[in-house]
Amino acid sequence: MSDSIQIRPMTAADRSDVAELICLSTNVWYQSHGRPLIFSGGPASTTVFFDVYNALTPGCGLAAVNAEGRLVGSCFYHPRPTHVSLGIMNVHPNYFGAGVARRLLARIIEIAEQQGKPVRLVSSAMNLDSFSLYTRAGFVPRTPYQDMFLNVPPEGLRLSTELDRFVRPAVLDDVEAMVALEREVAGLDRGLDYRHFIANREGFWHMSVLEDGSGKLEGFMASSGSAGCNMVGPGTARTPAQAAALLLGELNVQRGRCPVFLAPVQCSELVRTLYAWGAKNCETHFSQVRGPCQPIQGVHMPTFLPESC
């Protein structure tokens, strides 16, 4: 069946079909494994992936089509100065196991190799098919993350940390320091993403920074209020205490909602704090890298939109 599949660039005309595929493919997989719907809002909520990726890096999407020209697979990729990230990948349920994802992944690896960059992604530990797909292609699991969620009451979380007074909303003038911090902590540069979050043209992004007593930037955290991806992250901080203060600030931006966030398993101090706040686990993910990878020197929290690790 894979011999009849063609990989081509995604176009604006694919927007609604891609949204429908993302919704259908993801929901079918989770339901077939006894889990609730991920996208309960239907395809209207999943157009956000097409819109955000095309706003950040237009034209960086791939479509897999069958002999009749119907969309059977899709994937986004996001070139950054330090790496290429692999965004959300989906295959129509009728084509599960037909090699569509392998073909899409091979094309993105080819693009990254042409640019001389590693490829990074965040993958579910539950989905052993995708885990095997990536590790067979040379990806190495680097950091495990606990997917956690927390119901934020309409009045907000009546909690505090000792560093709350150092947290403030991010502005565009912070981006240079944010990039420098993330390069130090994780060896990554995602300045384009952070400018996009702060500009907030879609109307659902928010971003905070944390400074020390002298005004030096020590951490940052974003959040997305999109119906298709209500998450806190990405974020970077030097210490778990700083990450907790930033996370609390962004959780309170999402009042009345139930955002998800990815906490590094090895940051036990942060995880204990999150449990004390009432957070619960819902899944486990791994950051995976194909190519060079700097060890994390602090706290690094990825997200799913845009895919970051």
Q: Is the pLDDT score of 11 beyond 60?
A: yes
Lowest mean pLDDT among 30-44, 217-231, 252-266, 280-294: 30-44
Distance CA 220, CA 209 (A): 4
What pLDDT does 160 receive? 97
What pLDDT does 308 receive? 78
Q: Is the pLDDT score of 1 beyond 80?
A: no
Query: Which residues fall within 8 angstroms of residue 270, CB to CB, at 6 or more apart?
Result: 240, 243, 244, 263, 264, 299
Q: Cα separations (Å) of 62 from 6, 15, 18, 27?
A: 10, 12, 10, 21
Query: Which residues fall within 8 angstroms of residue 68, CB to CB, at 6 or more apart?
Result: none
Predicted structure pTM score: 0.95
Widest distance between CA atoms in the chain = 62
The one-letter amino acid code at 161 reads T
**Percentage of the chain exceeding pLDDT 90:** 96
Distance CA 84, CA 78 (A): 6
Distance CA 39, CA 41 (A): 5
Are 199 and 172 a contacting pair, CB within 8 Å? Answer: yes
**Percentage of the chain exceeding pLDDT 70:** 99
What pLDDT does 209 receive? 98
How many whole angstroms from its chain centre is CA 90?
15
The set of long-range contacts for 153-162, using a CB threshold of 8 Å and a minimum separation of 24, is: 153/255, 153/256, 154/255, 154/256, 155/255, 156/252, 156/255, 157/248, 157/251, 157/252, 157/277, 159/248, 159/277, 160/248, 161/241, 161/244, 161/245, 161/248, 162/241, 162/245
Are 86 and 102 a contacting pair, CB within 8 Å? Answer: no
What pLDDT does 155 receive? 97
What pLDDT does 164 receive? 98
> What does the pLDDT look like over 180-199, one tens digit per residue?
999 999 999 999 999 999 99
Identify the band that residue 208 occupies on the pLDDT scale cut at 50, 70 and 90. Answer: very high
